[in-house]
Amino acid sequence: MAGTRALLRQCPLLLPQDRHGTAYEGFVTAQGRNFHIRILLPMDLQLKNARVECSWRLKRILHSYRHILKQRLHSCPDLVSFMVELKTVLEIALKNTQDLHIPRPPEYYSCLVRDLEILGWNRVAYVDTGLTTVKLKAEDSCARQHLITLKLNAKYPTEPPDCLVDFPVPFAVSWMPQNSLIDIYNQFLAALESLKEFWDALDEIDGKTWVLEPENPTRSATSRRIAIGNNVSVNIEVDPRHPNMLPECYFLGADHEVNPLRTKLNNNMHLWDPEISLLQNLRELLGIDFPSRAVLEKSDFAKDCGICYAYRLEGSAPDHVCDDPRCGQPFHQACLYEPLTLKSSTKKL
């Protein structure tokens, strides 16, 4: 209920279409203009598997921002947060679309080219033909590659460019009219180093365990679903600002398998040591060794759904397991819900 109220405050013209909260339709407003949109969520309400439908006009405006919105779907914790991000991206897109029709003065081009030369062309990954979009590349202290996309308006350098990054936290640029691209680049490098421990922790998990979801995590993704055993896993949500602290943990699997793990975590929580890695802490608190990529294949512990006979359904792995110790068959929540809905409808008829 609180989530619905928050959504109405952000998007008063976007209304729920069913009592389950899986379909929303209406309008998103930006710069005084309304754009038709429809959002369909799976039955488990996982935002990363949502489908977004919109008018051809909105689709054309957001065409260059598709990969950013896809990242936001994976990283935002709820629909309200995603709609805030969507409106922000839409504001930027509209402003840049309008800017395309504003002729740039000669000073704009000479200033931009000078700034790029000062920065160094070796740091430039892409420049569009209109010199309105620039992508800069950087390497952090652990040799990870990163990109920052700059959308420049006609008033550059009086006004800063809009900056788009694959970060788990907002990236705000400090800017004055006398600043240049190298100032943004240096702030970008500083932000990369501030997230080093976060990415170190998740890189270790990605490299040494079997991550079931997300299948191809972006740098902005803060959650990992890690395989523990046959149809048993733990979903962790890591705080990017405090990556060495105990993350939120949610166990998935049959009760007789996950209840002992929950008990161990609760009993050993006080032993969490921020001086050692997140993965090592989880091993010690739970008293387990996570399946290793070097030893096991994913098929050794990842079974297909017992209803649709597929492992992935709209990008999601099975997240429910039969509690009967003699069974242990995994299912997608959506697959379980569908026959129950059909059965309920048949009874009413």
> Does residue 345 register a pLDDT over 50?
no
Reduce the DSSP state of residue 211 to 3 states and report it: strand
pLDDT of residue 242: 95
Peptide bond into 240 cis (omega under 30): no
Helix and strand totals (H; E) in the chain: 10, 14
Pairing of strands 232-237, 248-252: antiparallel
pLDDT of residue 68: 85
Task: Convert the pLDDT of each residue in 103-155 to its tens digit.
Answer: 788 899 999 999 999 999 999 999 988 898 999 999 999 999 999 999 998 88
| DSSP category for residue 311 | S
Q: What is the rounded average pLDDT of the residues 36-56?
A: 87
In the numeric block, which tokens belong to residue 57? 């006009």
> Does residue 287 register a pLDDT over 90?
yes
pLDDT of residue 204: 96
- Write down the residue that tokens 């006398």 correspond to: 178
- Write down the residue that tokens 């600043």 correspond to: 179
Distances (CA, A) of 55 to 52, 138, 273, 334: 10, 36, 51, 27
> Does residue 261 register a pLDDT over 70?
yes
